[in-house]
């Protein structure tokens, strides 16, 4: 009798866990249109993991699991992280895979080959509402490797289909953190980068020649050069971490010379080059607002995001990376501090939802709540930009993956 009751209760629990979900929110930020929230809204999640309906005049069908919350937003997107490569133990022998220092230029290193989605640090972020991370190799060498985009509910990458984008960018660094042994100076760093890009150009020409002439042999496969060919062909952006104004200027010059798609990362002194960045049409993934102001970050300002917004430069927030404790920040906490220093609150929330989705080329899937898009939601008991607010539920692909509601 007791065993039968236990099995019955378990079946009810599993049914609830896999039921279609409806969310009733006192305040809903869809992050569409003018970014203004909707009061007393309802979101229906489709069985296929997408948004079925969003609005104020929606009937909840029978059988839906209904969650009633104060505030609902799209799932939070971290525009640049190392989580899953850097882990919660912070131990080089166990869970620090984000930076390989055996050579200064290693674009062939893939994020998918090092990612651990079961690390407790990934769950910690997921429980706080972060549903998507742009993660991979860290700043710290001239070219440290690749990045990818993945949902935080993916425990292991057994197929490229387990990611949203398996190779989303190649990570490069200009500045003092990449100058320890080789290349040594800023001029040498740019010379090495230019040399590698020229090699990639030559490799691409050999491939094109072989494709056009059957008598010509194709060059031998070269995984290092091929990813740089993808950069030159604008298939994969080059994400350059550059904090000092002279390093930002060097990144802009390289982009002008080789024509690749550039994403500026960090950019602490971007306020000195706002006109140049605007003219180049380059997006910026802003350094963590709570970064420590020393070294290349000594001239950082809490108002950078507000200045980028005022100038009309695309930007997004990141959790970032620091060598002294390579774990992770929480990206919407960074947005909250930027809002305290002049950035409009709706824009701050957009910069960790729809803005990073646009920079990553994924705004047709994630970053906002509209019918047909992925049903990724973060639900809160108050303003998501207030530190006293709690994340009550997290939904990814229409499934409840986290709940702290009592």
20-65 pLDDT per residue, tens: 999 999 999 999 999 999 999 999 999 999 999 999 999 999 999 9
Can you give the pLDDT at residue 186?
A: 96
Please report, in angstroms and rounded to a whole number, the separation of the first and last CA atoms in the chain: 29
Can you give the pLDDT at residue 123?
A: 97
Can you give the pLDDT at residue 216?
A: 85
Q: Which two tokens stand for residue 281?
A: 């049409």
Can you give the pLDDT at residue 326?
A: 63
* pLDDT tens figures, 257-313: 999 999 999 999 999 999 999 999 999 999 998 888 999 999 999 999 999 999 999
Torsion of CA 223, 227, 232, 237, to 10 degrees: -170
Q: Are 129 and 381 in contact (CB under 8 A)?
A: no
Which residues have a Cβ under 8 Å from the Cβ of 258 and sit 6 or more positions away? 197, 201, 232
A 10 A CB-CB count for 155 gives 13
A 10 A CB-CB count for 365 gives 17
Gap between the Cα atoms of 270 and 295, Å rounded: 16
Inform me whether the pLDDT recorded for 8 exceeds 90.
no
Mean pLDDT, the chain, whole residue set: 93
Is the preceding peptide bond at 183 cis, omega within 30 degrees of 0?
A: yes
Can you give the pLDDT at residue 289?
A: 87
> At residue 349, what are phi and psi to the nearest 5 degrees?
-70, -40
Domains of the chain are 18-74+372-403 (2.30.40.10), 76-193+219-359 (3.20.20.140)
> How much of the chain, in percent, has pLDDT values that exceed 70?
95
- Quick one: which of 342, 344, 352 has its CA closest to 319? 352
Which residues have a Cβ under 8 Å from the Cβ of 255 and sit 6 or more positions away? 238, 262, 280, 282
Kind plus residue range of the DSSP H or E element containing 394: strand 391-396
Residue with tokens 């809002």: 339
Inform me whether the pLDDT recorded for 3 exceeds 60.
no
Least confident of 93-97, 169-173, 201-205: 93-97
Is 122 in a helix, a strand, or coil?
A: helix
A 10 A CB-CB count for 43 gives 25
Can you give the pLDDT at residue 406?
A: 54
Is 40 in a helix, a strand, or coil?
A: strand
Residue with tokens 């990362």: 265
Q: Strand ranges (DSSP E) for 124-176?
A: 130-136, 143-151, 165-174
A 10 A CB-CB count for 305 gives 28
Can you give the pLDDT at residue 9?
A: 43
Inform me whether the pLDDT recorded for 94 exceeds 90.
no
A 10 A CB-CB count for 220 gives 8
As a whole number, mean pLDDT of residues 207-226 equals: 91
* pLDDT tens figures, 142-160: 999 999 999 999 999 999 9
Sheet of 399-403, strands arranged across: 51-55, 38-45, 21-28, 65-74, 377-380, 391-396, 399-403
Q: Which two tokens stand for residue 258?
A: 């080789």
* pLDDT tens figures, 347-402: 999 999 999 999 999 999 999 999 999 999 999 999 999 989 999 999 999 999 99
């Amino acid at each position: 009798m007791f065993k039968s009751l236990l099995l019955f209760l378990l079946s009810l629990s599993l049914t609830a866990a896999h039921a279609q979900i409806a969310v009733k929110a006192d305040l809903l930020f869809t992050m569409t249109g003018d970014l203004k929230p909707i009061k007393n809204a309802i979101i229906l999640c489709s069985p296929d993991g997408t948004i079925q309906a969003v609005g104020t005049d929606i009937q909840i069908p029978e059988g839906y699991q209904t969650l009633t919350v104060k505030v609902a937003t799209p799932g939070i997107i971290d525009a640049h992280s190392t989580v899953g490569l850097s882990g919660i133990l912070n131990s080089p022998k166990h869970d620090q895979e984000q930076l390989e220092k055996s050579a200064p230029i290693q674009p062939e290193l893939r994020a998918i080959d090092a990612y651990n989605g079961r690390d407790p640090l990934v769950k910690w972020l997921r429980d706080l509402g972060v549903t998507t991370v742009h993660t991979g190799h860290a700043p710290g060498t001239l070219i440290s490797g690749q990045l990818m985009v993945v949902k935080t509910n993916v425990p292991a990458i057994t197929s490229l289909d387990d990611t949203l984008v398996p190779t989303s960018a190649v990570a490069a660094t200009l500045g003092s953190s990449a100058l320890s042994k080789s290349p040594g100076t800023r001029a040498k760093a740019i010379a090495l980068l230019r040399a590698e890009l020229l090699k990639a150009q030559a490799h691409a020409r050999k491939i094109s020649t072989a494709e056009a002439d059957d008598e010509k042999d194709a060059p031998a496969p070269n995984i290092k050069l091929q990813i740089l060919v993808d950069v030159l062909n604008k298939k994969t952006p080059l994400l350059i971490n550059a904090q000092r104004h002279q390093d930002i200027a060097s990144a802009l010059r390289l982009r002008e010379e080789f024509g690749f798609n550039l994403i500026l990362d960090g950019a602490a002194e971007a306020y000195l080059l706002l006109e140049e960045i605007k003219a180049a049409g380059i997006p910026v993934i802003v350094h963590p607002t709570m970064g420590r102001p020393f070294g290349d970050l000594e001239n950082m300002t809490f108002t950078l995001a507000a200045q980028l917004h005022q100038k009309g430069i695309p930007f997004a927030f990141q959790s970032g990376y620091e060598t002294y404790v390579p774990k992770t920040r929480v990206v919407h906490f960074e947005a909250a501090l930027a809002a305290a220093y002049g950035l409009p609150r709706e824009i701050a929330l957009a910069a960790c939802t729809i803005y990073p989705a646009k920079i990553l080329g994924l705004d047709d899937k994630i970053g906002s709540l509209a019918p047909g898009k992925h049903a990724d939601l973060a639900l809160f008991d108050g303003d998501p930009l207030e530190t006293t607010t709690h994340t009550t539920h997290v939904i990814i692909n229409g499934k409840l993956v986290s709940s702290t509601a009592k």
